[in-house]
Chain A
Amino acid sequence: MSSATTTAPESGHGHHHHNPEDRLALLKQIWMFSTDHKVIGIQFLVTTLLMLMVGGALALGVRWQLAFPWENMPFFGLLFPTEGGQISPEAYTMLFTMHATVMIFLVIIPVLAGAFGNFLIPLMIGADDMAFPILNALSYWFMWPAIFCFGASFFFGGGPGNGWTSYPVLSAVPEAAPGSGFAQFFWLMGVTLVGVSSMMGSVNYMTTIINMRAPGMTLFRMPLTIWGMFITAILQAFALPVLTAAGFMLVSDRMLGTCFFIPSGMVINNADPTVGGGQPLLWQHLFWFYSHPAVYIMLLPAMGMVSDMLACCCRKPIFGYKPMVYSMAAIAGLGFIVWGHHMFTSGMNPALGMTFMISTVMIALPSAVKVFNWIGTIWGGRPEFNTVFLNCVAFVSMFIVGGLSGIFMAAVPVDIYIHDTYFIVAHFHYVLFGATLFGVFGAVHFWFPKMFGRRMDETLGKWHFFLTFIGFNGTFFPMHLLGVAGMPRRYADPYLHPYLENLLPMNQFMTICACLMGFAQFILLFNFAYSLFKGQKAGMNPWLANGLEWVAPSPPGHGNFAAVPTVYRGPYEYSAPERDDDHWLQTEPPKSSPVPEPPKPEPTPDSAPVGEDTGSSS
């Protein structure tokens, strides 16, 4: 398992990447049309980290307006010289729409599936690359037209102002939202393009995970990261086409005169009543049929990665591996039948409300199983309080807060009161930022050595973590209180309502915390760039972890492994009592039988006895 035998990268020189020039060569690859899954993963990572900053800036714009309504906005104000630096209500609407859009479609989904999915899947299952490398590269390069479309939507008619949910009829009739003309079109095209990108990714991941595992890597020896990625890919594959289809319908309602979502006889701006016959609620159904599974797409890979990191940090086997797998599958399955909980107040058929309430409460069960298993993993462990571990603990604890507020909202009577208030905003920021992003921060620190051969700086990492954690809770916890006090989301000036006036100081406090949090992200970026060149050198296995990726060199060369690894056990054999070593690599042959025993045929759902001498396959 010496790194010296690894295949050299395309450039043909340098095997170890231990000097800056090689890392520069690697960095250069980032901008080339590479089909290597690691390069594509890093491309995704860099892109999404930059988009994170963009999305964060947009959020600060929103926060400014809520804390200092109608005061000239710093930086953003420059974009609105006509209003003298003030932002208009339409611009405010655009800010929160684009904040959500950027964060969801350009940060969280691509950083999980695109960046870590790409980098980790082949490494963790012992494959040399993805099943379809060119498709993989395309899935990255489709991000750019999407980014272009979202960017373009800023500049046409004041930007899209329908929220990330883009409900018709507001979004379906160009005259309905003055100035939203082409912006909404570009926005929808952007969503479609990221959809195409995700689609290519997900078919690729599924094929790779099913068909390209190293010998001995049975389904139940796969790390939970892989399970998370696999289930996410399945969710994408079956939910996303519905959104794409709905998106096409909405575009054609706007541009081609169709009326899927436009009812008949609607009068806008005192114009003639529309011809129509469609139903606006249909969009909500189709949209959430994708977007509820999508919130799990935005979580499951992080759940998987955190499970792997926690087990490694605590030097303990993951608590309840199979329940973890089954609960992820249950979340995915149930995730398909709960979408209506976003529509409790939409006027949908009350019979559906009850059904969706029950299924939503049920989905909390597998989520809770996972939480208990993480706690069980930490319990009695010997964690070192490093950046990775801190971020993982933040993941678990913030997910508990977000999950609990979810259960509140799952109850129809409660939700009727808090729907579309800041309580909802608190909920999804606790799960999306509090859980997923802390998980991602942890993962960046954990796999950085594998990506670049160097560790990230611990001190900077801890500063980043604590400032983000404090800023995060300072920003989002008070949102629960605002929501219960009745502050609606998406209002440019809530203080027009006298009953909300007293919430201004709290909003100002939150904005200050948000600025702190935004500032902290620069530490992350700095640490990332700094460690790339100056970080402490890392060997093959800096964390003494068990997974297959740790038997490849850091960074792995083209083709990943010197020889095809053979897998003898699951990835969680930490502190095994029969061993002195506290870790036990998946590839280490059992002592008892020095000759590697042929791995058992794997229990695929396929009834055919696969795994027996299919060596001749192409």
Chain B
Amino acid sequence: MSHAPAKPAVHMGLPLPNSKLGMWLFLGTEIMFFTAFIGTYIVLYFGSPGWPTDNNITHLKIWAGGTNTFVLLASSYFVVVAHEAMAAKNYKKAWNFLALTMTLAFLFLGIKGIEYKGKFDHHILPGQIPETSLQAIRQVEGKLEGYVNETTDRLVPGDDPVHIKLLNVSTEAGETKDPDKKRQLDDLGLITAEFNRFRAEVSANTLELEEAQQRIENLHHLAVVKLKDGREITGAYFPEEPPKDAHAGHGEAEGEAKHAHRRETGDVSLHRPEVAKETRLILESNSNTAEDGSVQVSHQWVVLSPGDVEEVHHVGEGVEHIHIQSVIPYGNLFASMYFLMTGFHAIHVLVGMTLFVFPLLRGSRLDASWADWVENSGLYWHFVDLVWIFLFPLLYIVPGNI
């Protein structure tokens, strides 16, 4: 402020530079900002009838949080050293320690990124976590519908709305000259048929979560299998032996027999029966139209030996990415709070890093005029550290214990 008249001879106010006073006042406002988040977290936690606390479900990693606490503490320490060095006019040392701080900040974000990736991989994302089995089933239904609609829209030419195009899939498959496209359309038809069956059961509310899960798994394995004897079977095809523990006891297969029925109900179980090693299993579905017009679907497990199979065409590959997500009661609130608090903390880390960039860019030209800057951005950085000091126990350790 070179234009200013001479500075007053008497300084009224606090024995602080304006910048430091301003930073402290700003930190006061920052405290209120995080108070709103932490307060929200606390009252919503207590206000919620439950909270997911099992780390295997929430994918909270204590090691990551703990390491990050350490990382931030160390970086805080380095900032102090840098500030000390500035005061001692040792600018080289100050620069080095600022650079160390910066490195640790990157490390912090890296670890945070690993944690976030875990959450994304397991779909622990706000608004996307089913909290009841019904929601889980409805969610997968929605995703399948999205897949069917999107693929139909892509494969069937024209401007018709999707529900019209859907009706034309088989016609289109008959007409197209391109064998590739024909196969895609045929696949789509098969998937759509499976999906419609699934949806009918969902809206009739007859599907338990476990059953639905099996349905989806079968869908993933949907294939058209050509047998040596010229027959062609369409169904869920399991080339490998099913895992013993998974669904053992459900249904049974009769050694060499070609058909396995579940005796109690007369209806075939969707769960794979136990079979000998090296066999191929396929679930064949047949639909019959009854007299009253309703469609009856029956299933049967067909056991094949490897030699029977001539060629397998996998249909279900396209939907293999669609899973039923695990049900986490109160998971959405948890995920909302987790991402809100860690997210805004991470934004503050980024702001702090930006503050350090400027003196670092000075390189060897760092000088006394930056002392205030280093001190104030240091204060800010300690605040970022302080927030994490509280977030760590609040997010990682306390839930479930109170």
Contacts and interface: CB of A to CB of B under 8 A. Distances in A.
Say which size band chain B's interface belongs to.
35 or more
A5 B32 CA distance: 46
A246 B14 contact: no
A278 interface: yes
Interface in A222-262: 237-242, 244-246, 248-249, 252, 256-260
A272 to B, nearest CB: 6
A206 interface: yes
B136 to A, nearest CB: 11
Interface string B341-357: 00010000000000000
Interface string B1-23: 10111111111111111110110
B13 A610 contact: yes
B5 A128 contact: yes
B44 A278 contact: yes
Contact of B25 (A128, A207, A257, A610): A207
B28 interface: yes
B28 to A, nearest CB: 6
Given A275-B135, A598-B10, A207 B21 contact: yes
B25 A203 contact: yes
Interface in A592-618: 598-599, 602, 604, 606, 608, 610-615, 617-618
B43 interface: yes
B122 to A, nearest CB: 16
Interface string A255-276: 0111110001000000010011
Contact of B336 (A211, A214, A216, A260): A260
B28 A260 contact: no
Given A204-B22, A237-B29, A282-B43, A259 B336 contact: yes
Given A7-B5, A129-B1, A246-B36, A211 B10 contact: no
B111 interface: no
Given A558-B3, A611-B11, A617-B11, A241 B37 contact: no
B157 to A, nearest CB: 31
B102 to A, nearest CB: 25
B18 A131 contact: yes
B10 A256 contact: no
A259 B332 contact: yes
A282 B39 CA distance: 10
Contacts of B33: 241-242, 244-245
A244 B13 CA distance: 30
A476 B111 CA distance: 59
A416 interface: no
Interface stretch (A442-450, A505-513, A559-567): A559-567
A599 B10 contact: yes
A241 B11 contact: no
B242 interface: no
A586 B303 CA distance: 103
A213 interface: yes
A251 B34 CA distance: 17
A264 B336 CA distance: 13
A275 B130 contact: yes
Interface in A131-160: 131-133
A74 interface: no
B26 interface: yes
A564 B336 contact: no
Contacts of B18: 131-132, 207-208, 211-212
Contacts of B29: 199, 202-203, 237-238, 240-241
A563 B5 contact: yes
A277 B332 CA distance: 7
Contacts of B129: 275
Contacts of B135: 272, 275
Contact of A559 (B4, B35, B339): B4
Contact of A276 (B19, B21, B333): B333
Given A211-B13, A258-B340, A259-B126, A7 B3 contact: yes
Contacts of A132: 18-19, 22
B284 interface: no
Contact of B4 (A126, A128, A278): A128
B13 A203 contact: no
Nearest to B27: A203
A564 B12 contact: no
Nearest to A10: B3
A279 interface: yes
Nearest to B7: A615
A241 B30 contact: yes
B336 A245 contact: no
A564 B15 contact: no
Contacts of B12: 211-218, 602, 610-611
Nearest to A567: B12
A121 B48 CA distance: 48
A278 B49 CA distance: 11
Question: For the complex, would chain A's binding face be called helix, strand, loop or mixed by DSSP majority?
Answer: loop
A286 interface: yes
Contacts of A215: 8-10, 12
Contact of A277 (B5, B34, B48): B48
Nearest to B344: A248
B164 to A, nearest CB: 24
A131 B1 contact: no
B128 interface: yes
Contacts of B7: 564, 615, 617
Contacts of B37: 245
A50 interface: no
Contact of A203 (B9, B26, B34): B26
B40 interface: yes
B330 A286 contact: no
Contacts of B386: none
Contacts of A256: 126-127
Contacts of A614: 10-11, 15
Nearest to B336: A258
Contacts of B6: 563-564
B5 A249 contact: no
User: Which of A216, A275, A276, A562 is the most central at the interface, judged by chain B CB atoms within 10 Å of its CB?
Assistant: A275
A486 B275 CA distance: 77
Contacts of B59: none
A258 B28 contact: no
A276 B32 CA distance: 26
A618 B375 CA distance: 15
Contact of A617 (B17, B44, B336): B17
A549 B61 CA distance: 60
Contacts of A79: none
B388 to A, nearest CB: 17
B186 interface: no
B113 to A, nearest CB: 18
Contacts of B40: 245, 249, 260, 282, 286
Nearest to B48: A277
Given A207-B22, A258-B127, A608 B15 contact: yes
A215 to B, nearest CB: 4
A210 interface: yes
A610 B13 CA distance: 7
Nearest to B36: A245
B5 A211 contact: no
B179 interface: no
Given A214-B12, A242-B36, A279-B44, A257 B22 contact: no
Give the 10 A-B residue pairs with the shortest CB-CB distance, closest first.
Answer: A257-B127, A245-B36, A277-B333, A614-B11, A258-B336, A241-B33, A215-B10, A211-B13, A213-B12, A241-B32
21 contacts: A131-B21, A206-B25, A207-B22, A212-B12, A215-B9, A216-B10, A218-B12, A241-B35, A241-B36, A252-B126, A260-B40, A279-B47, A558-B3, A559-B3, A604-B14, A606-B15, A608-B15, A610-B13, A611-B11, A615-B7, A615-B10
Interface of A: 7, 126, 128-129, 131-133, 199, 202-204, 206-208, 210-218, 237-242, 244-246, 248-249, 252, 256-260, 264, 272, 275-279, 282, 286, 558-559, 561-564, 598-599, 602, 604, 606, 608, 610-615, 617-618
